[in-house]
């Protein structure tokens, strides 16, 4: 009996206070804008950009939580500059905020000319990913470790987005 009590207490301690913390490594996904990615004006489809942003975010989330993850939602994305046929497209994704089971991934997209390597920011956005366990249900993720000023600034961005989302849900 005494042994049973001890193990219950131990279980609670593990789930409540011993959630591991972890640093997020940025992920880079590089592609080239092929003719089948473009509209008749030779500019990359917004939907294709979103697809690759989601892919980069998924890789960042999988690497971070070490398990399966699904996209729950995306925040607003504005396309600032067109990506032309033949340009290199560079996606960078990083987990910037974590909840209990959710991860907010920031993705920035740059285009790069093949001749001269001129880089331009095309868009940036946030993808909300949820870690999924073997039973298909959300499971806890490690708490994001913040070391630099940039880490803290990005954490605050993610936190504001979450609060804004929660306000809309009310
Ligand atoms: C996303 C999904 C796992 C949430 O499942 P759920 O049972 O509603 O989960 P819960 O209510 O327990 O919430 C789990 C977490 O998800 C977050 N979440 C749920 N919906 C969300 C949304 N629309 N945007 C951002 N986060 C969301 C919650 O805030 C919570 O985060 P927290 O643990 O960090 O506090 C579920 O709705 C799902 O499987 N959706 C389909 C995902 C999919 O197929 N994506 C591919 C694109 S179609």
Q: Give the residue, by CA position, lying nearest to ligand 1 atom 2.
A: 72
- What is the model's pLDDT at position 169? 83
Whether ligand 1 lies within 6 angstroms of the CB of 98 is answered as: no
CA 19 / ligand 1 centre spacing (Å): 20
> Quick one: pLDDT at residue 3?
40
pLDDT tens per residue, range 14-72: 445 567 999 999 999 999 999 999 999 999 999 999 999 999 999 999 999 999 999 99
What pLDDT shows up at residue 126? 98
Rg of the Cα trace of the chain? 19
Atom of ligand 1 nearest to the CA of 54: 47
Which residue, by CA, sits nearest to atom 40 of ligand 1? 72
Q: Is the CB of 104 under 6 A from ligand 1?
A: no
pLDDT digits (tens, 9 = 90+) for 86-123: 999 999 999 999 999 999 999 999 999 999 999 999 99
pLDDT at 165 over 80: yes
Residue closest to 141 by CA, chosen among 62, 28, 77: 62
Q: Which CATH number fits domain 20-169: 3.50.50.60, 3.10.129.10, 3.30.420.40, 3.90.1300.10?
A: 3.10.129.10
- Residue-wise pLDDT for 123-145, tens only, equals 999 999 999 999 999 999 999 99
- Rounded (10°) CA dihedral 147, 149, 151, 153: 150
pLDDT at 19: 77
Any atom of ligand 1 within 6 Å of the Cβ of 100: yes
Q: Is 57 helix (H, G, I), strand (E, B) or coil?
A: helix
Domain ranges, ordered by start, for the chain: 20-169
- Expressed in angstroms and rounded, the spacing between residue 5 Cα and the centre of ligand 1 is 34
**C-alpha 167 – ligand 1 centre gap (Å):** 16
Q: Distance, CA 137 to ligand 1 centroid (Å)?
A: 9
User: Which is higher by pLDDT, 61 or 170?
Assistant: 61
Tens of pLDDT, residue by residue over 71-87, are 999 999 999 999 999 99
**Substitution site in 105, 128, 138 for ligand 1 pocket (most atoms within 8 Å of beta carbon):** 138
Alpha helices in the chain (DSSP H): 2-17, 46-65, 149-169
């Amino acid at each position: 009996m005494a042994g049973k009590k001890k193990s219950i207490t131990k279980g609670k301690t593990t789930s409540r206070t011993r959630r591991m913390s972890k640093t997020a490594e940025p992920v880079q996904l590089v592609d080239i804008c092929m003719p089948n990615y473009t509209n008749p004006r030779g500019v990359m489809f917004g939907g294709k950009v979103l697809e690759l942003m989601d892919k980069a975010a998924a890789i960042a989330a999988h690497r971070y939580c070490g398990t399966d993850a699904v996209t729950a939602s995306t925040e607003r994305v504005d396309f600032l500059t067109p990506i032309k046929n033949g340009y290199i497209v560079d996606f960078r994704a990083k987990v910037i905020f974590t909840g209990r089971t959710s991860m907010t991934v920031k993705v920035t997209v740059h285009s790069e000319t093949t001749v001269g390597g001129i880089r331009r920011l095309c868009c940036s956005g946030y993808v909300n990913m949820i870690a999924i366990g073997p039973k298909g249900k959300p499971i806890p993720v490690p708490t994001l470790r913040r070391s630099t000023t940039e880490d803290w600034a990005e954490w605050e961005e993610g936190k504001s987005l979450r609060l804004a989302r929660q306000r809309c849900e009310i």
